[in-house]
A and B are shown apart, each in its own frame.
Chain A
Amino acid sequence: DAGVTQSPTHLIKTRGQQVTLRCSPKSGHDTVSWYQQALGQGPQFIFQYYEEEERQRGNFPDRFSGHQFPNYSSELNVNALLLGDSALYLCASSLGGSSSYEQYFGPGTRLTVT
């Protein structure tokens, strides 16, 4: 049973560019949440997708957008990259997006913006 997978593992981009990160949820899960973890900090909630719609969003600008596909996989897009976007991006999946169910985290994508 595959857990949460993310791709790519590492990514280096230049300021102003755009990036797409991908996430496949744990088998049987239908909800995907994205988090940004800057160095030395805890993960910060970006948004959550359920039934292919953004259900809730954290305090991130519109440069951060996402998508969920019918197979429940998800993408995180960041436009007009800033140096401050350098971070580990974590995807977490759960069932039904309820707090009653454990969220399973992927290994993350390390994004470096130069």
Chain B
Amino acid sequence: AQSVSQHNHHVILSEAASLELGCNYSYGGTVNLFWYVQYPGQHLQLLLKYFSGDPLVKGIKGFEAEFIKSKFSFNLRKPSVQWSDTAEYFCAVSTDSWGKLQFGAGTQVVVTP
């Protein structure tokens, strides 16, 4: 069965620190990859997505992610976090043409001032 694994459930870091969240998936075929974010009290919203081409994709708010096909990974990074980056982050994979998303369990990120 396909699965999406996020390595950390909770991450606490200080402002200006760098952030990297791991995501691995188990599927041997073509995948579309996504990172979603849920800020406190807000809807899930798309941070960035990868369909094809340059494996390094840039999203909103200074986030980027790198697709490494050989490692089945799609890790999210931000060089310098802000307090406003406190949120829950979800990695998601789509393996069909209709956009059904399979999500990881999420990582709660807390940025302290």
Q: Which residues of A contact B (CB under 8 A)?
A: 3-4, 31, 33, 35, 40-45, 48, 50, 55-56, 58, 90, 92, 94, 97-108
Contact = CB atoms under 8 A, between A and B. Distances in A.
Contact of A56 (B43, B46, B100, B102): B100
Contacts, number: 67
B74 interface: no
A105 B63 CA distance: 20
Interface of A is mostly: loop
Interface residues of B, number: 23
Given A42-B90, A99-B32, A33 B100 contact: yes
A100 B105 CA distance: 23
A102 B43 CA distance: 14
B45 interface: yes
Contact of B98 (A3, A56, A90): A56
A41 B105 contact: yes
B49 to A, nearest CB: 7
